[in-house]
A and B are shown apart, each in its own frame.
Chain A
Amino acid sequence: MRWNRNLVLGAVLTGLFVVGALISFVWTPSDHTVLDIAGKLKRPGDGNLLGTDHFGRDILTMIMVGARTSIAVALVAVGIGMLAGVPLGLTAAARHGGWLDEVIMRGNDLIFAFPSLVIAILITAVFGASAVNAIIAIGIFNIPVFARLTRSGALSLWGREFIMAARVAGKGAARISAEHILPNIANLLIVQGTIQFSLGILAEAGLSYVGLGAQPPTPSWGRMLADAQTLVSIAPHLALIPGLAIILTVLGLNLMGDGLRDLLDPRLRERSV
């Protein structure tokens, strides 16, 4: 049972960081806003479990609080993508071949031409850098991902006979979409949601690394890496630990996505040839 292993391992990894982020609201090993220059650049285990950074802040604390930023940005961005993308995709499928379908799909193509980093650059250039702008940049880019997936999933269902039966029963496109289409593509959307979540974490890290994401003093994994860059030869753990945090979270989400896909996919037939 491979899906089981993937799902469990993924859920444990992801859960670790989610729980860490939640705990940080009530308790952290130390206060990340207090600087302690005397105790800077401590190695892991030397009083602090994961060491301290160049301002003497406890790295475990920074990772826990940084997880809040990463998870919140990625989660809200997935939410934006789903809330806008899924209705657009359902509409496009229901109006397949019509002008509305054409407009929605062209709009999607257009957004795809602006990778999230480019959107972020544009937004930042105009409104300045912030976590909110990072969310918007990643969220906008998620919209066409969900819109396309929803449309293609919905289109394959619209040709099915049970949809025809619902139409014969006098149900309109909106009702059919809500009652018959959406529940049957929910699996697809959940799996894609975990993938976009993991991509969101990576994108947030990248944006904060180049200074387009959350601003100081809010800790974020990406900026921890940016700060570590000049110190990487003296204190490699400053770069290693936030990097591992990102990798493990993303890996966990992807494993979870794979596990869910196998678990939810009814077409687990044997491949022949």
Chain B
Amino acid sequence: MTLLEISGLSLAIRGTPILRDVSLDVAPGQIVAITGESGSGKSMTALSVMQLLPDGAETTGTIVLDGTDLMTLSEGEMCDRRGNDIGMVFQEPMTALNPVQTIGAQVAETILIHGAAGRAEASQRARAVLDRVGLEAFPLDRYPHELSGGQRQRVVIAMAIALRPKLLIADEPTTALDVTTQAQILDLLRGLVDDFGMGMLMITHDLAVVADMADRIVVMKDGEVVEQGETQALLHGMTHPYTRMLFEASDHVVDLPEASEGAPMLRVDEVIRDYPTPRPHLFAPHGRFRAVDGVSFIMNAGDRLGLVGESGCGKSTLTRAILGLEQIQGGRIELDGQPVFTGKRPNLAVRRKMNVVFQDPYGSFNPRHRVARLVAEPLHLLDNPPSGADRARAVADVLEAVHLRPSDADKYIHEFSGGQRQRIAIARALINRPELVVLDEAVSALDVSVRARILDLLVDLCGQFSLSFLFISHDLSVVRRITDRVLVMQAGKIVEEGETEAVFTAPQHPYTRALIAAAPVLPKIEALRA
């Protein structure tokens, strides 16, 4: 018996084809995961089921839910189904809730809008649903801004399941969340599916989550289903090369060259970084939030050091302090014995010895400058920056080092894909031949296949430039593959430090253990084959 049956679904938006002939089934109590890289059309498939597509969308095919073809329903009839028969959970919990309405009112609205209960009863039922999703401690009159991201996602789930829909659609429900929160939300979703016997259509790019959660897997690429099947069968079979490529890229093993034993280079000593918080009352002094609390570590030349932690742990603040972008309130940060901050100004002599690659390949470049100017920007730090042909050669050299063409220097940044942009960001970071490159979530925004190639590039550069890097990430699996040593940060403090493999195989601190336990693990392909 099937609950949802999509067959021959094709979608075009203003003439541009988005989906081609998508067919898949969801049975009651079953979790079906659609996975694929960005642009595969997985989210559009979900929105087609909800009939919440952008303006100008034209669809063909059938989407049968419980015997009714949703494509034939009028908008009014569809409104009756949404929230009642189908619930949906979105990716971004921080913006998915109305900021000016209480969480109680927003959950009760699902019940009220479908006339399932009167005001008083709806409010009682909202309470019960919020209890069910683990928000027992939160009164109904709280506003979204008073809740954390994970808690808000629970509210969104509560709204979606308040009327016990037959089908729950979850579009990247944990992508914006920390790994420990992700584990809790996934547990909650699985529990709800079991309790209510709902079917769940889950959209995610994270294959580890897919392998962990799904009963069935649907792999999509460029708007088409390339392979689908029962989870175990699919993982063991992987008949389509794209599926195999995806899984291999997700667990891409790099061949990190042997680390050279270098002299101490970066010395971080008892660093404290405070932020002022609003005054508790009008005449009181500002409060203080200690984002980095007495952090010390030493990085040797040639080190590939990882820094992991969840959002808000202070790793970004520490990064900015190391780069000399912000002043610290205590301790010292030195590179080659020179402080990164002297007096009130950043020390330019030190700064030219390091550079950074940021997360967002789209926000990292001034859209109005050509690549040559973008890449050459750090040359500004040199006492005698090269000009003319020398400068062009320097730019061409680094572009070639990151496997781009020297002629790319004349293009604008919008002509490049996300992966290519990240290569350009790396080229920019390398142009001064820095001793230290800080990689701040540098591969986190990339699709797995692109990410694998960037990791290969980093390994390649380690050989070419005898690179030392500080690799900051929330993604434990990547840090495990690309670093020799790792620091684990929690609430502004380094709670564990050691050889990467040692830390991952035998974590000492309870927080490290919790992190590693929470991270979903991709089954090893070799193991599946065996």
Which residues of A are in contact with B by a Cβ distance under 8 Å?
A: 160-162, 164-171, 179-180, 183-184, 266, 270-273
Contacts and interface: CB of A to CB of B under 8 A. Distances in A.
Given A161-B359, A162-B363, A273-B52, A170 B368 contact: no
Given A165-B358, A170-B346, A272 B55 contact: yes
Interface in B349-383: 351-352, 354-356, 358-360, 363-368, 377-378, 380-381
Given A161-B363, A165-B358, A165-B377, A183 B346 contact: no
Given A168-B323, A170-B351, A162 B364 contact: yes
A170 B366 contact: no
B52 A169 contact: no
Contacts of B378: 168-170
Contact of B377 (A161, A169, A183, A272): A169
21 contacts: A161-B358, A161-B360, A161-B364, A162-B366, A165-B365, A165-B377, A166-B366, A166-B377, A169-B378, A169-B380, A170-B346, A170-B348, A170-B351, A170-B381, A179-B366, A183-B368, A184-B367, A270-B14, A270-B54, A270-B55, A272-B53
Of B346, B364, B377, most buried by chain A (CB within 10 Å of CB) is B377
B56 interface: yes
Contacts of B360: 161
A270 B325 CA distance: 37
Contacts of A170: 346, 348, 351-352, 378, 380-381
A168 B380 contact: no
Interface residues of B, number: 31
A184 B368 contact: yes
Interface in B328-364: 346, 348, 351-352, 354-356, 358-360, 363-364
B364 A165 contact: yes
B432 to A, nearest CB: 9
B164 interface: no
Contacts of B364: 161-162, 165
Interface string B410-448: 000000000000000100100000000000000000000
A162 B365 CA distance: 5
Nearest to A175: B380
B180 to A, nearest CB: 27
B428 A165 contact: yes
Of A168, A183, A270, A271, most buried by chain B (CB within 10 Å of CB) is A168
Q: Is the contact region of chain B dominated by helix, strand, or loop, or is it mixed? A: loop
Contacts of B381: 169-170
A121 B354 CA distance: 58
Of A169, A171, A271, A273, most buried by chain B (CB within 10 Å of CB) is A169
B88 to A, nearest CB: 13
A1 B223 CA distance: 29
A168 B367 contact: no
A178 to B, nearest CB: 12
A239 B365 CA distance: 55
Contacts of A180: 366
Nearest to B54: A272
Interface of B: 13-14, 52-56, 323, 325, 346, 348, 351-352, 354-356, 358-360, 363-368, 377-378, 380-381, 425, 428
B413 to A, nearest CB: 9
Contact of B55 (A171, A184, A266, A271): A271
B208 to A, nearest CB: 27
B351 A168 contact: yes
B103 to A, nearest CB: 22
Given A161-B358, A272-B53, 9 more contacts: A161-B360, A165-B358, A168-B323, A168-B351, A168-B378, A170-B378, A184-B368, A271-B54, A273-B52
A157 to B, nearest CB: 9
A272 B360 CA distance: 24
Contacts of A167: 325
A76 B464 CA distance: 58
A168 B355 CA distance: 7
A250 B367 CA distance: 33
A270 B18 CA distance: 15
B205 to A, nearest CB: 21
Contacts of B380: 169-171
B325 A168 contact: yes
A171 B381 CA distance: 8
Contacts of A161: 358-360, 363-364
Contact of B356 (A160, A164, A266, A271): A164
Nearest to B373: A179
Given A271-B55, A272-B53, A273-B52, A168 B356 contact: yes
A125 B288 CA distance: 51
Nearest to B358: A161
A164 B325 contact: yes
Contacts of A169: 355, 377-378, 380-381
Contacts of A171: 377, 380
List the 7 closest pairs (A to B, CB-CB), nearest first: A272-B54, A161-B358, A169-B378, A161-B364, A170-B381, A161-B363, A169-B377
A183 B378 CA distance: 20
B215 to A, nearest CB: 31
A9 B56 CA distance: 28
A183 B369 CA distance: 10
Contacts of B351: 168, 170
Contacts of B14: 270
Nearest to B357: A165
B15 to A, nearest CB: 13
Contacts of B377: 165-166, 169, 171
A75 to B, nearest CB: 27
B437 to A, nearest CB: 11
A184 B366 contact: yes
Contacts of B325: 164, 167-168
A187 to B, nearest CB: 11
Of A170, A184, A270, most buried by chain B (CB within 10 Å of CB) is A170
Nearest to B378: A169
A100 B112 CA distance: 50
B424 to A, nearest CB: 11
Contacts of B428: 165
Nearest to A159: B363
A170 B381 CA distance: 6
B346 to A, nearest CB: 7
A210 to B, nearest CB: 42
Nearest to A180: B366
B363 A270 contact: no
Contacts of B358: 161, 164-165
Contacts of A270: 13-14, 54-56
Contacts of B354: 168
Contacts of B355: 168-169
A148 B214 CA distance: 51
A164 B56 CA distance: 38
B242 to A, nearest CB: 29
A180 B359 CA distance: 19
